[in-house]
Structure 1
Amino acid sequence: MNVFKQMYKSLYSPRDIAIYRFQGIGKTILYVFLLTLLSVLPTFYHFSIAINNGIQAAEEIMREELPDFTIKNGELDSENKVPVTIERDGFSITIDPTGSVSGKDLANTGNTFALLKDEFALAAGGNVQTYPYSMIDATEVGKQDFVDFFASMDGVTYIILPIAFVFIYLVSSAMKFIEVSVLAMMGLILKNIGGRRLNYGHLWRMAAYSVTISTVFFTIMEAIKTPVPSGFLINWLVSAIVLYLAINETPAPKKA
């Protein structure tokens, strides 16, 4: 059975998930990579749209509307001593030399580039990436340097985006493997509750397919940019329930 058919069956059939415990570990690992690829596509799509649409808007906002500022010794200093946010064409730039705005505050702001007290941040599709000013080699950077930087970005997006995709995919893959491994450890408890004899290898394979429903659901929510309240808990609860149902589909030991 190919992995795409397995993905489809994993959406509704704990019995099939139980059967997959006997397949080779290599195929299960391939499935986890495929599931991760599916899950990052909406994130990368929103990220690439934000990059392409935001570069021109960022250059114009930087040049025409933002107050003068400098970044020196890893900190931002501006002639305005209060946070300033300017929006244009679905893209916004925030400058805050006071430290009152953090990267987490930008999660629900749409497509945003922010110059914060000691770091700059990029928010897109509900995800926020932050980078400390210490990454900048220059001892002092000013407003005109950022204007020139954004003006030069048009020609390098075709290089940046593939690198960004690989980075997002690798990080997401690592997180997905951790999620499956932790769920399999939870399965050691669940199989005792169900009175089943399963080893960790069986449970890891079953856990890899048990996360399918939650992964597909959150991928759809990410694609339509709809936040899910208590998403972390929902993800683990759904995956654990599916795994428990799959465990119960395995044969129970015969009583003497």
Structure 2
Amino acid sequence: MNIFKQFTKSLYSPKDIALFRFQGIGKTILYVFLLTLLSVIPTVTYFSMTMVNGLEAAQSTINDEIPSFVIENGSLSSEQTEPVEIHENDFSIIFDSTGKIQQDDLKTVDNGIALLQKDFIVVTGGTLDAYSYSMFTDLVITKDDFIKFLDTLDSLLAIIIPIFIIVIYIFSSGIKFIEVSILAAIGLVLRSMTQRNLQYRQLWRMAAYSVTLPTIFFTIMEAIQTGVPNGFLLNWFVSILVLFLAIREIPKPKNK
């Protein structure tokens, strides 16, 4: 059975998952890499689109709507007396040299950048990364310098995005292999409960296919940007349940 048929069978057939325990370990490892690749598609797609669209919006907005400013001695200063907030295409640009806006005020921002009085902040998917101007105490940065930086960043996107994709894929693959290994260890307990004769390496193969259903479910939820309450617990519950049903499909050893 080829790997794509195995993928389809793993979505609904514990009986077939039980049969996969006899296949080579190399094919199972390849399957885990394929499953991980499918699971990261929404993440890398969303990030790439956010980077491209956000950078275009930032270049246009900062050039036309943000006042002249200078970052010097760890602080942002300008003649602007009120914060400037611009929201366009699900991307926010916030400029505040007055100190009225703090990091905690950016919790409602999903994607964007903020030039605050003491920090430069990047928000991606609701995750906030702050960089203090005090790290550049020996530099004087003006609006023109910042625009040139954005232009340089735009020209490097063709390199930055593929590197990000590779890093995310490698990291996600490592997490997936750890998940499968833990699930296989839980399978040892299920094996004892159901009185089946299984070795850890067989349980590992079965566990690799048992995570298919929850992985695809959460991939779809991420693709449509829908949160799942108690997603961590739900993921493990479904994985353990599928593995348990697969173990139940294996005949009990005959009594001598």
TM-score of the superposed pair, with normalisation by structure 2: 0.82
Instruction: Give percent identity, aligned residues only.
Output: 49
Whether the 8 Å contact between 1:56 and 1:150 is mirrored in structure 2 is: no
Q: Give the counterpart letter for 1:121 in structure 2.
A: V
Deviation at 1:169, TM superposition (A): 0.8
Q: Distance in 2 between matches of 1:22 and 1:114?
A: 55
| 1:232–1:81 distance in 2 versus 1, CA, 3 Å | farther
Unmatched 5+ stretches in structure 1: none
Pairs aligned (count): 247
- CA deviations on 1:139-163 (whole Å, 9 max, x unpaired) are 4463533322112233222222111
1:191 maps to what in 2?
A: 191
1:241 aligns with 2:244: no
Q: Distance in 2 between matches of 1:87 and 1:249?
A: 55
Q: Distance in 2 between matches of 1:253 and 1:186?
A: 20
| 1:57–1:30 distance in 2 versus 1, CA, 3 Å | same
Unmatched 5+ stretches in structure 2: none
| 1:47–1:195 distance in 2 versus 1, CA, 3 Å | same
Q: Give the counterpart letter for 1:192 in structure 2.
A: S
Deviation at 1:20, TM superposition (A): 0.7
Q: Distance in 2 between matches of 1:250 and 1:215?
A: 24
Q: Distance in 1 between matches of 2:72 and 2:213?
A: 46
Q: Distance in 1 between matches of 2:200 and 2:67?
A: 57
Whether the 8 Å contact between 1:115 and 1:121 is mirrored in structure 2 is: no
1:101 maps to what in 2?
A: 104
Whether the 8 Å contact between 2:113 and 2:122 is mirrored in structure 1 is: yes
Aligned-partner SS, 1:6: helix
1:150 maps to what in 2?
A: 150
2:124 maps to what in 1?
A: 123
Matches within 5 A, 1:202-213: 202-213=202-213
Please report the RMSD computed on the Cα atoms of aligned residues, expressed in angstroms: 3.1
Whether the 8 Å contact between 1:196 and 1:251 is mirrored in structure 2 is: yes
- CA deviations on 1:5-45 (whole Å, 9 max, x unpaired) are 10000000001111111111110000000000001111111
Structure showing greater radius of gyration is 2
Q: Give the counterpart letter for 1:113 in structure 2.
A: I
Q: Distance in 2 between matches of 1:172 and 1:157?
A: 22
Q: Give the counterpart letter for 2:38 in structure 1.
A: L
1:70 maps to what in 2?
A: 71
